[in-house]
Each structure stands twice: as structure tokens, then as C-alpha cells.
Chain A
Amino acid sequence: MRIFGLRTCLPAIGLASALCAAPAAAQTAPTDIDTLIGASLSPDTGMTLARAQISDRDLLGAAGTLERVLLAHPEALPPRLLYASLLCRLDDREGAEVEIGLLGGQPIADADWAEVTGACGAIARPAPPRGKRR
């Protein structure tokens, strides 16, 4: 249905327009509050924004973005993995381990896991579930 296309695309278009609004700021993550919120509505646009903020060295901003995403989409795996790697970069390894422990036995793509180990070093990869932890 056409409306679903709109629904899915508009936040992404908004984020893209914000990222491209000023040539000088093309490499810079947006800081306007409404843009930050709009870009956090879906896991995909939230990940894009968080990566832009990380590139901009705004790790706290990226963590806030991913927390917004995970409030609305607790089931989304890639944002939680990126969030775990971000916690390691903020030197909160225990927090990262809690996040990874929540994943249970969900299959994790090797590329996603490589990002986690790149930030956290050696860390236990979740085993297939024998029962739900929570």
C-alpha cells in the first residue's frame, strides 16, 4: 500500500535532507531536536543517525539515539548490538555485557558481531537459547 511506503520513507527522507541541508554540515550529524527524534523512529534511520553521531565523535548523542530506538523497537537486534559496542567505547563493559546477555540465542551476523568485538575485545557470544532469560 502506498501509504506504507510514505510511512517508512518520510523519516529517512527527513534525516537525509537534514544531513544534506548545508554542504558544510554534510558530514555532521543533525542536532535539531525534532530531527533527532524523527530519525529515531525506525531502527534503520536510527542506526544511520547513530553512526553519523559516532563519526562526529558524539558518542553520548549516539547512545541517546539508540536508547530511543530500543524503547520503541526492543526486538531490533542491530541497534542493540551497536548500542553494546557503544557502551564499550564509553568504557562501560559491564553494561555492554548486560545488553548482549539480553539477546538470548538470536542469530547474530558475523559482521555485526565483529563490530562488537572491535569495540569490546573478546566477549562471550550468546549461545542458542535453552530458555528465556527474561
Chain B
Amino acid sequence: MRRHCASCSAARETAVNRALLSAGGPLALVAALGLAIEPALAQPNPAGVAAAVRNKVEIRSAATRKAHPAVLRERLFMADQVQTGAASQLQLLLLDRTTFTVGANARVTIDRFVYDPAANSRSAGISVAHGAFRFMSGRALGKPGGAVNVRTPVAAIGIRGTIFEGVVGEDAIRIAEDEPAVGRVKADKGEASLIVLRGPGPRTQGDTAPGAIDVTAADRTVAVEGADLAVYVPRAGVPPIGPFRISPAGLEALQELLRPGPGSPPGGGGGNHTARNVLIGAGVIAAGVLGGKLLGGGRKKGPAKGQGNVGKQGKPSAVPPPNPNGKPPGG
């Protein structure tokens, strides 16, 4: 059985590090020998891979506690934090093929990721402290079951196989205030969270099922079941406003944070693109020839010297909860 348990690996790594740091010479030597004999035990398994990097994206490694520019194909691990700048994005491809896009001006941490393709199970948790994000469940490798949650400072989102987006902070307030269903409400600039279910809708095709999410805030849970229905939590301690149908303008404003438009310059950030692509091509060929390998474990340390940032790169619930700020949802 091949089990990708990022938390187990991190704990193992921490234990080994602790032994190396606190023990005397002989014990440290024994630990080091153990590492050499069974490297797989010493290396944490990744939760996912940086699949696209645009402009200024940094990874703060949980292992080293240092930030470095994100690099295409870089492995990300539990407790790693992604931080993006303006007009910057990262697409994180998790091992279960879930796609998590980190939009502009965002701060995101992988809290938990356990994936076992053999048992067809997974458990994942991601925290979004600030900025925009997009979550899209993966289909590959047999629709694994298990709890997947995304948390913002004021809301918890339970996922039932789905595409949804959100934004935390000033941009959430800016977009939500223009929505007729919300209007001006007292909001916290650091915590306000706008969450939008994008689908799939009930008439979806392919191997997909209609999406749904449950948004919980202030001990109240709102079921969101229908494409382009949104929920807004303006601050801590108040229940969600909605669900309400987001306007086209609101949807467009959210997309601008998540993906550059056609008028945007190509993504960049330096690095030797020619060398990078040759290496990537060689890697792809190797992957194609070998085929089928899920993904090797082992942390890849920060970017190679000189490589830099290579990112060229509902249906509403039956009884919507009351608007805690006096204005009725949908009105």
C-alpha cells in the first residue's frame, strides 16, 4: 500500500530532527545512519506540486521556516505556506489531482493532507488567511472519498466534490458590497470572507457530479447547492449572509484575482527559461517512458541557484439565515 501521509512524515521528520539536535554524538550518529539506510523514512511525502507559478510567489517552508521564490514543479508539504503578491498566482496540484489556485495577495497554508490511493481515501485541510483562491476537486485515481475542508479566518467550508472560489480580506468587502444581496455591512478588513460555488451545475457532463459546499460561521451552517451561489461572512461571530446569486460583475472581479486576462503580460519572474524547458522536456520524457509512477516522496529544497521564479510562466438552502447586519439576504 502506498500511503501519502504528510502529517505522519512531518512528525517523523520532526522526531528525527529533535533526536539529532538534542541527543549526544552517538545517538545523533545512529539517527544519521538510520537516515542513510532508509531514506524514505527520513523524507516527508509531499502534499502537492507547484503546477503553475506567475509573478511573485513565495513558499515559506515549514521545515526551514524560511521563504523562497516558488519554482515550477516544486513539491509542497504539510504546513508550508504560500504567499503571493499583486497580479501573482500559483496553481497547486495536490496528489489526488485536486487543483488549488492561490490568487493575488494571498496567504495560504496546507494544514493537513493524507492521501491513500490504494484505500481510495484522503483527508485534506487548507487555511486561507488572506486573498483569493479557487478549489477544484480532482477526478483522477478513482474519486477518493474523505473529508476536505478549507478554512478562512471566519468560516469553515466543507466540500462535497466541487468547484468553488473565495476571497478573504479587503477584496471580499469590495466585491460583496457591490452585491445587491449584501450591500454595506460592518466588516473586518482582515477577516471578511466571500465564498462562491462555481459548480459543477446540475446539468454537468463527463465524470462529474453536481457540486455542493457547506459554509459554517458562528455555529450556523449554510448549504450551498447551485452554481454561482455565494455566501458572505463579513466578520467573526456573525452567521453567513446568503446564499445569494453573485452578479456577473462580482464574478468577473473575482476572476481578475485568480487568473490574468488576455491583456495581461505573460507571467514571469526571471530564470533561464530555455534551460528550464529543456530540463522539463527531459523530465517529461522520462515520466512518459517510466509511466504510471504516482509521485516520488522527498522534499525538494528551495529553488536552484539562478532558477528564481520560473512561472512563465443553488439552489439556496430552504431557509436562508438572516443577515446579521439587518439587511435581508437576496433583497
CB <8 Å contact, B93 and A72? no
Contacts of B75-102 to chain A: CB distance below 8 A: 89, 91, 93, 95, 97, 99, 101
A40 to B267, CA, bound (A): 14
B55 to chain A, nearest CB (A): 10
Number of A-B residue pairs, CB cutoff 8 Å, is: 238
The one of A17, A21, A63, A132 in contact with B263, judged by C-beta atoms closer than 8 angstroms, is: A132
Q: Which residues of A contact B289 (CB under 8 A)?
A: 17, 21
A109 to chain B, nearest CB (A): 16
Tell whether B73 is near chain A: CB-to-CB under 8 Å: yes
Tell whether B252 is near chain A: CB-to-CB under 8 Å: yes
Count of B residues near A, CB < 8 Å?
69
A72-B54, A72-B266 as given contacts; A32 in contact with B291, CB under 8 Å = yes
CB <8 Å contact, A7 and B274? yes
Q: Which residues of A contact B266 (CB under 8 A)?
A: 72-75
Tell whether B255 is near chain A: CB-to-CB under 8 Å: yes
A58-B140, A60-B138 as given contacts; A38 in contact with B284, CB under 8 Å = yes
The one of B97, B205, B252, B255 in contact with A59, judged by C-beta atoms closer than 8 angstroms, is: B205
Tell whether B66 is near chain A: CB-to-CB under 8 Å: no
A117 to chain B, nearest CB (A): 16
**Residue of B at shortest CB range from A32?**
B287
Tell whether B137 is near chain A: CB-to-CB under 8 Å: yes
CB <8 Å contact, B259 and A67? yes
Q: Which residues of A contact B138 (CB under 8 A)?
A: 60-61, 64
A126 to B311, CA, bound (A): 30
CB <8 Å contact, B284 and A35? yes
CB <8 Å contact, A33 and B93? yes
The one of B99, B141, B199 in contact with A67, judged by C-beta atoms closer than 8 angstroms, is: B99
Contacts of A16-49 to chain B: CB distance below 8 A: 16-22, 25, 30-41
